[in-house]
Amino acid sequence: MKMTLNINRKEHEVDIKGHETLLEVLRDQLGMTGTKTSCNESECGACTVIIGKKATLSCITLVANVAGEEVTTIEGLAKGEELHPVQQAFLDNGAAQCGFCIPGMIMSCTALLNNNPNPTQEEMEYALDGNICRCTGYLKIFEAIRDAGGRLSEMEAPKESTFYRHTPETVSSKS
């Protein structure tokens, strides 16, 4: 079955055979490998993208469920050579080490900051609760979030965004 996905403000036609996840389609059909595969079962956050205004785990999201939705991946944040403020803040604050978790981290942080550019420590910890980093110890990541929040406050940021964790209807029936 052919379907059209809106990803990073462009339409992409994809071919769906059954119960493909959004993650599989992004990486295998569209070559958008910035979104990472790791646990593939909602445990690590490496696959986080933004759907609408919500941070969402693409490994447990059936692609059939995102028809008509706006999907943003890590590839959709920068404007040409200019990094998104969250990406730039991660870079400037040394918030990445091996980098494997970072695309998912940045997507979760972006969804958080679009809603709340000045989050408390508790709000940051809640927002990143599902994003596992084996390298950084998180302190630099929290510094990057605060820095990015300041940058976004100075810009005209989108007004509404909601951070959320996966819900039952996004869970793939794949075994």
Which parts of this chain interact with ligand FES (CB under 6 A)? Answer: 37-40, 42-47, 57, 59, 96-102, 133-136
Least Å distance, CB 137 to ligand FES, is 9
Least spacing, CB of residue 136 vs ligand FES, in Å: 5
Residue whose token pair is 């959004």: 22
Least gap, CB of 93 to ligand FES (angstroms): 13
DSSP category for residue 93: T
Contacts of 154 (CB under 8 A, 6+ apart): none
Q: Which is nearer to ligand FES, 32 or 117 (CB)?
A: 32
Shortest CB 36 distance to ligand FES, Å: 7
Q: CA triplet 10, 160, 39: central angle to 5 degrees?
A: 65
Nearest of 9, 4, 23, 7 to residue 172 by alpha carbon: 23
Cβ nearer to ligand FES, comparing 8 with 40: 40
**CB-nearer residue toward ligand FES: 69 or 157:** 69
Whether 48 and 60 have beta carbons less than 8 Å apart is answered as no
| CB of 138 or CB of 150, closer to ligand FES | 138
